[in-house]
Amino acid sequence: MSTESPPTSTAPESAAAEDRATARPADDLTQQVYDSPKELAIKYALGACALVSVFTTLGIAAVLVIESIPFFQEVALTEFFGSAEWTPQFSEKHFGIWALLSGTILVTVISAVVALPIGLASAIYISEYAADGVRRVLKPGLELLAGVPTVVYGYFALTFVTPLLQAVVPGLGVYNALSAGIVVGIMIVPMVASLSEDALQAVPDSLSGAAYALGATKFETVLRVNVPAAFSGIMASFILAVSRAIGETMIVTLAAGASPKMTLDPTQSIQTMTAFIVQVSKGDTPQGTIVYQSIFAVGLVLFLITLAMNIFATRITQRYQEKY
């Protein structure tokens, strides 16, 4: 077949084919195709796009720092970090971040109390117990829950959860940390569940197999082998979810109120850092005033806290990914 293989139909090509069959006239291997101008242009254009994300981070940091400078020229750091009074609207203004920070912490703690156990339980159930059919319903269900816009959760907190709680908790105001905290908790359940489930799935079957072989029951194996083995991954999911709760804005703006104060009472109306930022920017606060500048300072604190938690969680995740 080899002899008649190039069908000599069209003259110039078959001549070329003949030529190639014996020995191609030395091809120029140094013709730059791989690094041709077009290829390089594409490469650098794509690389420039990848740099946008770097510049986003730098942009956030730069904006927050630069715009905070005028604020900190007027408000001493000692007052900002040392005081628990936040009264930007009063004639005698105080800017003590602890009033807002404590509101954020209160809501976050309530949400964690709701979300961490439920999220972890869901993760354990989906990864270790649920039959395939059940899993196929539960996972998209949780994904849907994660896809609900936060403003919708805010509506739900204010118009459904708060009246419900008022029936149980006497004297609960319209705006309170409890309702907001519970709904923020519901919002982050899917996050805890899906990240913890990933961690549980990463535990090798051989480990639980060994426990079964020793006569352990299912729940003993799950609680004493799988969950401890996935511990760091589960911790990472907790941290990420809590960081998300700290940054949550619409639920707390709608349901938690606008009264910055340092309190541990969940029935009180409070204000979080995020809600304060929204309150200022939705009002008619003129640019250049100290109140307007304060949102950048609060934003900076918020950014640093969530950044630190995210980095910490990434570290933990990397460690457990190396383990298996």
Partner 1 sequence: MESSSNGTFHLRRTRRKRIGMILAGVLFLATILGIVVLVTLLVDVAMQSRAWLDMQFLNSLPSRFADQAGIKPALYGSLWLMGLTALISVPLGVASAVYLEEYARDGWFLQLIQINIANLAGVPSVVYGILGLALFVRFAALGQSLLAGALTLSLLILPIIIISTQEALRSLPTGLRESAYALGATRWQVIWSHVLPNAAPGIFTGVILALSRAIGETAPLILIGALTFVPFLPQSAMDQFTALPIQIFNWTARPQDEFRGLAAAAIVVLMILLFAMNLSAILLRDYFERQTAGE
Partner 2 sequence: MPTDMPNDNPRPDSSPDMDETVSDSAPEPVSANGQADPDDAAAAPPKADPSVRPKIEIQDLNFWYTDTHALKGITMNVKPHQVTALIGPSGCGKSTLLRCLNRMNELIDGTTLEGDIQVDGQDIYAPDTDPVMVRRRIGMVFQKPNPFPKTIYKNVAWGAQINGYTGDMDDLVERSLRQAALWDEVKDQLHSSALNLSGGQQQRLCIARTLAVQPDVVLMDEPASALDPIATSKIEETITELKSDYTIVIVTHNMQQASRISDETAFLYMGRLVEMNPTEKLFTRPEKDRTEAYVTGRFG
Residues 36-65 that bind partner 1 (CB under 8 A): 36, 38-39, 42-43, 45-47, 49-50, 52-54, 56-57, 59-60, 63-64
Half-sphere exposure at residue 32, Cβ-oriented, CA atoms within 13 angstroms: 6
Q: Does 122 bind partner 1 (CB under 8 A)?
A: yes
Q: Does 177 bind partner 1 (CB under 8 A)?
A: no
CB 314, min distance to partner 2, A? 22
Q: Does 2 bind partner 2 (CB under 8 A)?
A: yes
Partner from partner 2, partner 1, none binding residue 206, C-beta < 5-8 Å depending on class: none
Q: Does 23 bind partner 2 (CB under 8 A)?
A: yes
Phi, psi angles (nearest 5°) of residue 172: -75, 130
Among 297, 252, 262, residue whose Cα is nearest residue 72:
297
Q: Does 170 bind partner 1 (CB under 8 A)?
A: no
Q: Does 125 bind partner 1 (CB under 8 A)?
A: yes
SS (H, E, C) the chain: CCCCCCCCCCHHHHHHHHHHHHCCCCCCCCCCCCCCHHHHHHHHHHHHHHHHHHHHHHHHHHHHHHHHHHHHHHCCHHHHHHCCCECCCCCCCCECCHHHHHHHHHHHHHHHHHHHHHHHHHHHHHHHHCCHHHHHHHHHHHHHHHHCCHHHHHHHHHHHHHHHHHHHCCCCCCCCHHHHHHHHHHHHHHHHHHHHHHHHHCCCHHHHHHHHHCCCCHHHHHHHHHHHHCHHHHHHHHHHHHHHHHHCCHHHHHHCCCCCCCCCCCCCCCCCHHHHHHHHHHCCCCCCCHHHHHHHHHHHHHHHHHHHHHHHHHHHHHHHHHHC
Q: Does 47 bind partner 2 (CB under 8 A)?
A: no
For residues 268 and 66, what is the distance between their CA atoms, to the nearest angstrom? Answer: 35
CB 39, min distance to partner 2, A? 9
The residue written with tokens 């340092």 in the block is 262
Total chain residues near partner 2 (CB under 8 A): 27
CB 43, min distance to partner 1, A? 6
Nearer CB in complex with partner 1: 8/314: 314
For residues 251 and 151, what is the distance between their CA atoms, to the nearest angstrom? Answer: 6
Binding-site string for partner 1 from residue 223 to residue 252, where x marks contact by CB under 8 A and - marks none: x----------------x--xx-xxxxx--
Q: Does 217 bind partner 1 (CB under 8 A)?
A: yes
Nearer CB in complex with partner 2: 22/206: 22
Q: 277 to 296, contacts with partner 2 by CB under 8 A?
A: none
Q: Does 27 bind partner 2 (CB under 8 A)?
A: yes
Partner from partner 1, partner 2, none binding residue 311, C-beta < 5-8 Å depending on class: partner 1
Partner from partner 2, partner 1, none binding residue 77, C-beta < 5-8 Å depending on class: none
Among 283, 125, 106, residue whose Cα is nearest residue 177:
106
Nearer CB in complex with partner 2: 5/78: 5
Q: 60 to 119, contacts with partner 1 by CB under 8 A?
A: 60, 63-64, 67, 117-118
Total chain residues near partner 1 (CB under 8 A): 85
Partner from partner 1, partner 2, none binding residue 306, C-beta < 5-8 Å depending on class: partner 1
Partner from partner 2, partner 1, none binding residue 246, C-beta < 5-8 Å depending on class: partner 1
Q: 271 to 290, contacts with partner 1 by CB under 8 A?
A: 274, 277-278, 281-282
Q: Which residues contribute to the site for partner 2 (CB under 8 A)? A: 1-3, 5-7, 9-10, 12-13, 16-17, 20-24, 26-35
